[in-house]
């Protein structure tokens, strides 16, 4: 029997839990041809969510293009990646894909081959000069509008790992994106990526081209009430049991963060024999396995922190969320001097991604590190 809990890559199908409201919100953003900036802490499920949303769009009415910019490192690779995904989004028929690619991107000399699953893959023989690249960029970014007009459908473009464009050397792509996304009709754009600070700066900093160019869609943890049926059903369909109470305990420990919840469930399930029921003791056992694996890295990180940073983190780890950090009680209890120190401490830890902001307070980014800290005596 395979472990039913998946963590690491984006999840889909039966491995995907809830997100009903978020899915509806993004669908309506696409329907209204909005521009959306989807952001969250690391591994909160952004990629899984947008892929789910795109997969749910009616192909009779929408053309969905998912563009992962992870592998791009300059303007030329941005251009070819975008052009490739746009062409491939036009269908599963190789000759149709080639026809679209030739029409939209004639000077890139497109070619189509079939992958192992028989799905058409586009490649380009394209080695532009800097000047040609500049022109091609405009051509590529104009393509979504042409698709919308020619097909009579709405077009949804997703740029994932958008922070990569910051490494292209100049802000040409960013500036051009700004100008085209505002002019296009019946085209929606969803922007996301795995580096929240960098992306927030792109959309929140007045000096940046994309400043206020998109509506904000924050993504938070999954609620216990949604995890409950999901987790219980996964145990049951694989011949194991888990009570409501034990499931709630898991969600409390992971704060409902999707990656850590799946990871912990995976570890607990792994230790159960067929027919067994998971207990609180199994949670502890599963957690011990996970923490033991990370303890080297966690110790090194802990050692690198100042005494006050450790006290601050300890307080954040043991108190119930949301923690009122600026309160005198918190500062006194964890011997942090005075409330003005909090700003400096949180600033330094934010910069190192040890903590993150959420809607109400701060959270320790790595939920297992949080649990590791809670077990410390000092
Ligand atoms: N809706 C969901 N249901 C169940 N598990 C989920 C869900 N969304 C995310 N996960 C879990 O979280 C992990 C990370 O998901 P995903 O890659 O979509 O997050 P992300 O926010 O795009 O991450 P990154 O910040 O690295 O880009 C998945 O491997 C899965 O374990
Ligand atoms: Mg992602």
Instruction: Report CA(37)–ligand 2 centroid distance (Å).
Output: 13
End-to-end CA distance of the chain: 42
165, with CB counted inside 10 A (0-12, 13-18, 19+), is buried
User: For 201-205, 303-307, 337-341, 370-374, which range has the lowest pLDDT when averaged over its residues?
Assistant: 337-341
Say which residues have a Cβ less than 8 Å from residue 293's Cβ, sequence separation at least 6.
none
DSSP string, 29-86: HHHTT-EEEEE-STTSSHHHHHHHHHHTS-TTTEEEEEEE-TT--SHHHHHHHHHHHH
Q: Under CATH, which number does the domain 222-298 receive?
A: 1.10.8.60
pLDDT in tens, 156-210: 999 999 999 999 989 999 999 999 998 999 999 999 999 999 999 999 999 999 9
* 196 CA closest ligand 1 atom index: 25
Instruction: Give percent above pLDDT 90 in the chain.
Output: 88
Ligand nearest to the CA of 223: 1
Pocket test of ligand 1: the residue of 43, 70, 222, 229 to mutate, having most ligand atoms within 8 Å of its CB, is: 43
- pTM for the whole structure: 0.95
Q: Under CATH, which number does the domain 305-378 receive?
A: 1.10.10
Q: Which of 39, 276, 256 is nearest to 160 (CA)?
A: 39
Helix (H) or strand (E) holding 123: strand 120-124
Instruction: Report CA(194)–ligand 2 centroid distance (Å).
Output: 5
pLDDT in tens, 134-158: 889 999 999 999 999 999 999 999 9
* 5 CA closest ligand 1 atom index: 31
Looking at domain 19-218, which of 3.40.50.300, 3.60.21.10, 3.40.50.1100, 3.30.559.10 is its CATH number?
3.40.50.300
pLDDT at 358: 85
Pocket test of ligand 1: the residue of 5, 7, 9, 10 to mutate, having most ligand atoms within 8 Å of its CB, is: 10
Instruction: Report CA(160)–ligand 2 centroid distance (Å).
Output: 7
356 versus 130: which is more confidently predicted?
A: 356
Ligand nearest to the CA of 50: 1
Instruction: Report CA(47)–ligand 1 centroid distance (Å).
Output: 7
Instruction: Report CA(16)–ligand 1 centroid distance (Å).
Output: 9
Q: Which of 370, 362, 378, 377 is nearest to 291 (CA)?
A: 370
Pocket (CB within 6 angstroms of ligand 1): 6-11, 16-17, 19, 40, 42-48, 194, 258-259, 262
Ligand nearest to the CA of 259: 1
pLDDT in tens, 81-136: 999 999 999 888 999 999 999 999 988 999 999 999 999 999 998 888 888 888 89
Sequence-ordered alpha helix ranges (H) in the chain: 20-31, 46-55, 75-88, 94-104, 130-151, 172-183, 196-204, 224-237, 244-254, 258-271, 280-303, 307-318, 328-333, 340-351, 367-374
* Interatomic CA distance for residues 119 and 348, integer angstroms: 48
Domain ranges of the chain: 19-218, 222-298, 305-378
pLDDT in tens, 1-21: 899 999 999 999 999 999 999
pLDDT in tens, 228-283: 999 999 999 999 999 999 999 999 999 999 999 999 999 999 999 999 999 999 99
* 161 CA closest ligand 1 atom index: 27
Confidence of residue 378 (pLDDT cuts 50, 70, 90): low
Residue nearest to atom 6 of ligand 1 (CA): 258
Confidence of residue 340 (pLDDT cuts 50, 70, 90): confident
For the chain, the average pLDDT equals 95
């Amino acid at each position: 029997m395979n472990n039913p809990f998946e963590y690491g890559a984006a999840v889909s199908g039966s491995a995907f839990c809830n997100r009903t409201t978020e899915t509806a919100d993004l669908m309506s953003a696409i329907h209204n041809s909005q521009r959306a900036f989807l952001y969250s802490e690391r591994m909160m499920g952004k990629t899984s969510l947008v892929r789910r949303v795109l997969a749910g769009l009616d192909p009779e009415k929408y053309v969905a293009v998912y563009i992962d910019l992870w592998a791009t490192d300059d303007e030329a690779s941005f251009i070819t990646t975008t052009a490739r995904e746009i062409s491939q989004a036009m269908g599963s028929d190789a000759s149709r894909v080639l026809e679209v690619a030739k029409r939209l991107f004639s000077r890139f000399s497109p070619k189509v081959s079939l992958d192992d699953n028989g799905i058409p893959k586009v490649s380009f023989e394209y080695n532009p000069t800097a000047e040609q690249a500049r022109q091609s960029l405009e051509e590529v970014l104009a393509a979504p509008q042409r698709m919308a007009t020619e097909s009579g459908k709405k077009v949804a473009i997703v740029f994932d790992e958008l922070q990569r464009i910051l490494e292209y050397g100049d802000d040409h792509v960013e500036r051009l994106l700004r100008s085209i996304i505002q002019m296009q009709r019946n085209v929606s754009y969803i922007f996301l990526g795995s580096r929240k600070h960098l992306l927030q700066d792109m959309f929140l900093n007045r000096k940046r081209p994309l400043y206020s160019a998109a509506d904000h869609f924050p993504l938070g943890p999954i609620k216990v009430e949604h995890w409950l049926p999901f987790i219980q059903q996964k145990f049951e369909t694989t011949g194991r049991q888990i009570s409501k109470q034990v499931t709630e305990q898991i969600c409390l420990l992971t704060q409902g963060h999707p990656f850590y919840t799946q990871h912990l469930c995976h570890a607990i399930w792994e230790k159960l024999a067929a027919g067994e029921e998971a207990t609180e003791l199994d949670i502890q056992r599963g957690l011990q396995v996970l923490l033991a694996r990370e303890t080297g890295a966690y110790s090194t990180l802990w050692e690198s922190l100042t005494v006050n940073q450790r006290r601050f983190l300890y307080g954040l780890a043991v108190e119930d969320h949301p923690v009122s950090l600026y309160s005198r009680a918190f500062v006194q209890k964890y011997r942090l001097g005075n409330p003005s120190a909090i700003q400096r401490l949180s600033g330094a830890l934010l910069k190192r991604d040890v903590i993150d902001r959420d809607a109400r307070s701060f959270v320790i980014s790595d939920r297992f590190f949080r649990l590791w800290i809670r077990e410390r005596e000092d």
